[in-house]
Structure 1
């Protein structure tokens, strides 16, 4: 059985009044410690990724790939959810940096990443084989 190919996720965040550079997989994190994330973009090397952000006690609509960004610029994000589309055999794993520490990894839609009411300052994302 051939080994499955690696799928790269490229993502970036809006923080400190601008879009920060793209990050691929876990080579770095997207964000700035001490600054709130207000928008998220993500895309895959193969397949589609769907994601949404939580602000002001509500989830914003889902966005797919880079058709749009998730968030409202000028408003701090306190939750993130991500899922893969059309990629059986793979999962998306993501986590957020909140209150001076990295929170536990979240897999697919089992939970959300973040803490309601607490500013997200960084995110990390990775596609893994199931």
Structure 2
């Protein structure tokens, strides 16, 4: 079974190849295209193959696209800035996780105290 993103002209660009879809719902299966076999891509110098499916005929084929290496120069400072931002975001996420773990611990303690007191809150 092939899952795809629909491109122009009723052509889908294959995003996933599912070999065992027996656990899928009928609705999920209807979102894909079931095929018996896949064609072998040709090796064409300077091109790469994109697996496609014609959504009308269910024909599977490869579209060949020129390999264009597009690289924009990145300065060391840009890399350092991006790394710094990623490290700050990571630290913020760790703080959030720690806060959530603390809150979870407090809630578990409250539940335990409620169970010990027969469901009555501990009033001081």
TM, length-normalised to structure 2: 0.22
Larger helix share, 1 or 2: 2
Larger strand share, 1 or 2: 1
* Bigger radius of gyration: 2
Looking at both structures, which has the greater relative contact order when contacts are Cα pairs under 8 Å and sequence separation is at least 6? 1
TM, length-normalised to structure 1: 0.21
